[in-house]
Structure 1
Amino acid sequence: MNDVAAPAAQSWKVTLPCTRAEAEALDGDIAAFALMEHPPVLMTSEAEPDDENKWQLDAYFEGKPSPAAIKLLKTLVPSASGIKPQVEALPDEDWVTMSQQGLEPVTAGRFHVRNVASDPEQPGHVNFLIEASRAFGTGQHETTAGCLAMIDRMRSVGMRFRNVADIGTGTGLLAFAAMTLWPRAHAIASDIDPVAVDISRENAVANGIALGGGAGQLALCTAAGVDHPALVGRAPYDLLIANILAGPLIELAPSLCALVEDGGTIVLAGLLNEQADAVIAAYRAQGMRLAERSDRGHWPTLRLRKRPQIGWKRPRRINAAARGEAPGFGSI
């Protein structure tokens, strides 16, 4: 008898209204689903632009969600306690890819990012093709576009870097952009999600980005925070980019700053306006100063510079006891 693979379980989606505050509280792993063999993937979005009370939570389940799972989901968004969730079976297609198809190209600084191969390139720009995929970071989100615009301005004013790290890379886009601006730099990109790292590798090949460990080449690794020998071993960096979320940005501040040389630059994104002061304070405590802030809607991008300190030894390795982990946190 021939072995026949069991068909994959059909995906289901549960939709509930929520507030922006509730949406922002859903970063990282959700303890309520920790014991599930296949926990749902949670996505939040603005149901109505600029209305903090009208956001939406979409939870994607592998297989039909049980009443208990839906009840747990509702506990995450108390504002929807009296509302019946919308539960629907999805077509047998990749819902992440479907969610990203048809997106309009994005132009930020000198960069033009297409998500569909049939869209034309933009003359006079650095063009990237980041097709809809299993990972996130297609350039559509304000945080990614904000980072692209920030590093473009940095190059325009003559800033130069030779050793670059992109933490929480998603699709690899920000690392690719940095490498086109500083083509002789060493570069490494990491993500907590191995799928994102695989997608970044595929995108690098598709966009002509050289992979490897030398100058002008991109190294890739899977890591929680900066807990990986490849990340620590290549330090110190003169440019580090982290487009993740406010919580892990604050948690990782000591580890990220330890990997940056005196006078080096950190670009941070993934935080909301009201979270900026807390993030800035966490990095100031590690010897950083705010050099520039640029807001796109509710999403600021921060550029910070590490203050040279007389008597401080330039860090080559982070403290072995400080693992630099942020479990459950990945890219935007």
Structure 2
Amino acid sequence: MDENKKWIIFSFSTNHESAYAIEQFLQMQGAEGITVEDKADFLKTFEEQKRPDVIIADYLENLSFDVKIEAYFLFENNQLQVNKDPLITEFGQINSEKWISISEFEQIIKNTLENIAEISPIGKGYLSYRILQNEDWQNNWKEYYKTQKFGRIIINPSWIDYEANDDEIVLNLDPGSAFGTGTHESTSLILKILSEFDQIDLPGKNILDLGTGSGILAITAKKIFTDSQITAIDIDEHAIEVARENAVKNNCKIHFETAELKDLNQKYDLILANLIAAIHLDLSSLYTEKLNENGLLIVSGIIASREAEVKQAFKQQNLKLIEEYHENDWAALIFRKNQQ
């Protein structure tokens, strides 16, 4: 949206069945933008893609089934801009705009929701509106991201000047569209674990970052284990692109690949996997297969309620638990592959 314009936002709470009708009504009225938060749709997409994303799984678990809709309209001189004839928009013809008062539009909303309610329950319906003042949207979001410290590992946004101590490892990493900036417990736990590692702690030189996201763990590993060969994979091509760009910014030579663990022919001395518990359970036998003897496996993204289940499954796969870390309701576990 244009940061130099002023907006009025109308908020609605409804159910999955009526959400589409309300969204169509708002589009016909000339909304410049509409956001829909529908757990039912999110769950369907999440299951179809089977994307091992900790943030999404955690978010969905706490998300209500009430559908939240927000519609953005241009706002000037205490009036909002709407389509002069909403039906023209429906049939794809060119429309013209008009300006009406908030109270006029709220009456239109009331009448429309009453019509929809005759066909299907609408839940709470229309909630309220708020005015969005002119702001520097391109830069204001930056105030929410600060330099983060995880032991001796520092995650620093590019717009902040940071003077590192001699023993600190600095990653220049901006928040982006791929998962992994250290803000979630699942990522911070592995960063804290890696912060305590040294080159001499690693039995060999081949490292795999499984589900790399932004590349944060692969880049960290390369900065700690400088002589190691790092492979980072993800099933999301966009994530691989983002991770590759982040590696270049941090002067790290890493092999990135769009792939699954089963696609790899190599064995590794260290595997880093920040995924959800269900994915860890599915991959438990593959972890053993892809690890060298005495190889280390660091897994995170495990919600407390499934920690025992993961431990038991890994034990059956000849993986010995050697250390565990916890933060809030999340766990990160370190395993070693036993010699046969």
Instruction: Confirm or deny a common fold (TM above 0.5).
Output: yes
Paired position in structure 1 for 2:257: 221
Q: Secondary structure at the match of 1:154?
A: coil
Correspondence 1:291-302 to 2 at 5 A: 291-302=322-333
- Residue 12 of structure 1 and its aligned partner are, at CA, apart by 3.8
Paired position in structure 2 for 1:251: 282
- Structure 1 residues 237-275: Cα deviation after superposition (integer angstroms, max 9, x where no partner): 110010011111111111122100111110000111111
Contact kept? 1:267, 1:301, Cα under 8 Å? yes
What is the number of equivalent residue pairs in this alignment?
250
Which stretch has the larger CA shift, 154-163 or 197-206?
154-163
Q: Secondary structure at the match of 2:196?
A: helix
- Structure 1 residues 216-257: Cα deviation after superposition (integer angstroms, max 9, x where no partner): xx111011x3133xxx23x22110010011111111111122
User: Would you tell me which structure has more strand in proportion to its own residues?
Assistant: 2
Q: Secondary structure at the match of 1:277?
A: helix
Contact kept? 2:202, 2:269, Cα under 8 Å? no
Give the one of 43, 46, 51 matched to 1:29: 46
Moved over 4 A (4+): 25-28, 41-46, 54-61, 81-88, 97-101
Paired position in structure 1 for 2:236: 193
Paired position in structure 2 for 1:209: 252
Paired position in structure 2 for 1:14: 36
Q: Secondary structure at the match of 1:30?
A: helix
User: Would you tell me which structure has more helix in proportion to its own residues?
Assistant: 2
Contact kept? 2:202, 2:270, Cα under 8 Å? no
- Residue 179 of structure 1 and its aligned partner are, at CA, apart by 1.2
Paired position in structure 2 for 1:137: 180
Over aligned residues, Cα RMSD in angstroms?
A: 4.1
Matched, 1:279 2:279: no
Q: Secondary structure at the match of 2:170?
A: strand
- Structure 1 residues 262-304: Cα deviation after superposition (integer angstroms, max 9, x where no partner): 1111000011111111111121111101000010111111000
Residue ranges of structure 2 left out of the alignment (5+ in a row) = 1-30, 73-121
- Structure 1 residues 103-139: Cα deviation after superposition (integer angstroms, max 9, x where no partner): 2222112100023432524434111111122211011
Residue ranges of structure 1 left out of the alignment (5+ in a row) = 1-8, 35-40, 47-51, 65-80, 211-217, 310-332
Paired position in structure 1 for 2:98: none
Paired position in structure 1 for 2:270: 239
- Structure 1 residues 44-94: Cα deviation after superposition (integer angstroms, max 9, x where no partner): 649xxxxx9x65689999x99xxxxxxxxxxxxxxxx96659899x9xxxx
- Structure 1 residues 191-231: Cα deviation after superposition (integer angstroms, max 9, x where no partner): 11100100011001101112xxxxxxx111011x3133xxx
Paired position in structure 1 for 2:17: none
Q: Secondary structure at the match of 1:145?
A: helix
Contact kept? 2:203, 2:295, Cα under 8 Å? no
Q: Secondary structure at the match of 1:227?
A: helix
Quick one: distance in 2 between partners of 1:264 and 1:100? Answer: 40
Code of the residue aligned with 1:140 in structure 2: it is T
Contact kept? 2:277, 2:310, Cα under 8 Å? yes
Quick one: distance in 1 between partners of 2:127 and 2:231? Answer: 42
Quick one: distance in 2 between partners of 1:189 and 1:117? Answer: 26
Paired position in structure 2 for 1:120: 162
Q: What is the TM-score when the length of structure 2 is the normalising length? A: 0.62
- Residue 157 of structure 1 and its aligned partner are, at CA, apart by 7.5
Code of the residue aligned with 2:258 in structure 1: it is T
- Residue 172 of structure 1 and its aligned partner are, at CA, apart by 0.7
Contact kept? 1:101, 1:115, Cα under 8 Å? no
Q: Identity across aligned pairs (percent)? A: 25
Which stretch has the larger CA shift, 151-160 or 110-119?
151-160
Change (3 A) 1:158 1:138: same
Quick one: distance in 2 between partners of 1:131 and 1:118? Answer: 10
- Residue 189 of structure 1 and its aligned partner are, at CA, apart by 0.2
Matched, 1:148 2:184: no
Change (3 A) 1:139 1:56: farther
Quick one: distance in 2 between partners of 1:86 and 1:166? Answer: 45
Q: Secondary structure at the match of 1:199?
A: helix
Q: Secondary structure at the match of 1:29?
A: helix
Contact kept? 2:199, 2:225, Cα under 8 Å? no
Code of the residue aligned with 1:193 in structure 2: it is D
Matched, 1:109 2:151: yes
Quick one: distance in 1 between partners of 2:126 and 2:281? Answer: 34
